[in-house]
Amino acid sequence: MKALASKFIGDRRFYRRAMAVALPIMLQNVVTNFVNLLDNIMVGQTGTASMSGVAIVGQLFFIFNLVIFGAVSGPGIFCAQYWGAGQARSFKAAFRYKFLTALAMCLACVAVFGLFGRQLIGFYITGEAGTTEEVMGYAYDYLRIMLWEMIPFAVATVYASTLREAGHAAVPMAASWAAVAVNLVLNWILIFGKLGAPALGVRGAAVATVTSRVVEAAINIGWSHAHKKEVLFTHKMLEGFPMSRTLLADMTRRSLPLTLNETLWCTGTAMLNQIYSTRGITVMASLNIAYVLFDLFTAVAFSLGTTIGIVVGQELGAGEQERAVDTDRKLLALDVVVATVIGVTMALVSGLFPRFYNTTPQVRTLARDIICVMGAFLPLDCFAQGCYFTMRSGGKTMVTFLFDCCFTWVVNVPVAWAVAHFTGLGILWVYTISCGTVIIKDVAGAVMVHKRWWVNTLSGLDL
């Protein structure tokens, strides 16, 4: 029994090391999501139609955010391993590759949202004509302002992720805290018209978000360039430019599947929400409430997935493969335990949280039930996410592509679509059955992690 426990439970030194990476990420995510929660509640005070409009645009920006995350994730694998191996020139090359890829993806998303915003919003709106027009008005007003948020977000993400990979996770955490403080204060002023400002409603919420993203980007960029010798990637940034063709080809080969994965996964998730929305506007409002609480409560558990990618990647880069395997197994176990506790807590507060919104009893009841389903499946979701980051840490990006987005489009979306269109089941059953498909993903992930296909070192490729 003791030998079995030692396989899955680390000593104090192990958890101190893991928490040194995880804690700043957790704190950043918790604070960010807590302010998003307050932001959402503030918008929710203006009515169901405005809340639904913001929630729909939130689906579009969910896609954008994960496209940028995908763009930085591939080069981020190289950054983590190069940092662990002490290969400074290649570390800078990976940062430049990350920056240019994220910027290109950002500009493409700006063009798509700017040209086809109304059509994309309309994809989620079903119901009576008067209600749909009101929701469209709120959503489009919000979207037009939020377009200005996209470039600062992309740049902030590039710098923040690279700082974490270089062992400076506290800086993006501080930048995030400053940004959410600005967002919260401006939300209060601009949504409700405080301190003599006009009451702008959802437009005020958008202005506050844009301003906060600019603040976050400015702090990350400013600190990085003021501490060049500590972070390396801003010191002689063009050193080793252009990178070797071999490194460029390998980085592209491993990065492209991750970028495509995040893009296809998030569009698949957006498609799932569109399928749910066919049951009416109240569904989007309920999902919006549930997702906000879900993001807040899961900030800790999902941060452990990011920690797996960074810590295990650094150990693989340093050539410590057996230690990486042991670390990964213990972090996966920790992730599942934490997720179980959080899932139970979500169920306990599911009836209280929706009462903070100025909406209908029907929306509140459905939101409560969805939160309970989310809490029940959270340990399974976190295990699947941990397996994803495990495989990604070793550069197995094609495997993660098949594991993540292909699963979403081949299994999850078709199941949800079939249940929604060919049965008379209510939205709660449609959502529960859709969530239940993660069991298949968990089994596949457990097999792949156990087979150790992901144990791979990339840092031997230098400039």
Contacts of residue 76, defined as CB under 8 A and 6 or more positions apart, other chains included, come to: 94, 98, 161, 162, 165, 309
Q: Which of 156, 145, 142 is nearest to 214 (CA)?
A: 156
Q: Is residue 461 part of a domain?
A: no
User: Is pLDDT of 129 > 50?
Assistant: no
Q: Is residue 308 part of a domain?
A: yes
Cβ(393)–Cβ(459) below 8 Å: no
Residue with tokens 């389903």: 373
Contacts of residue 279, defined as CB under 8 A and 6 or more positions apart, other chains included, come to: 420, 426, 427, 430
Reported in sequence order, the residue ranges of 281-386 that DSSP labels E, i.e. its strands, are none
Higher-confidence residue of 25 and 6: namely 25
d(CA 413, CA 370) in angstroms, rounded, equals 18
Interval 290-331: pLDDT, tens: 988 888 787 777 778 778 877 887 777 767 778 888 888 888
d(CA 29, CA 65) in angstroms, rounded, equals 14
d(CA 187, CA 182) in angstroms, rounded, equals 8
Domain count, the chain: 1
Q: Which of 250, 58, 29, 36 is nearest to 160 (CA)?
A: 29
- pLDDT (average), residues 72-86: 76
Q: Which of 27-41, 94-108, 115-129, 313-327 has the lowest mean pLDDT?
A: 27-41
Q: Is residue 7 part of a domain?
A: yes
- pLDDT (average), residues 417-427: 89
Which domain, by its residues, includes 396? 2-451
Q: Is residue 396 part of a domain?
A: yes
Task: For residue 358, give the DSSP letter.
Answer: S
Per-residue model confidence (pLDDT) at position 109: 92
> How many CB atoms are located within 10 Å of the residue 163 CB?
24
Q: Is residue 28 part of a domain?
A: yes
Mean pLDDT computed over every residue of the chain: 82
Interval 234-268: pLDDT, tens: 766 666 556 667 777 777 777 777 777 777 877 88
- pLDDT (average), residues 376-400: 82
User: Is pLDDT of 86 > 60?
Assistant: yes
CA distance readout (Å), 135 to 40, 89, 213, 338, 374? 16, 51, 25, 38, 26
Q: Is residue 14 part of a domain?
A: yes
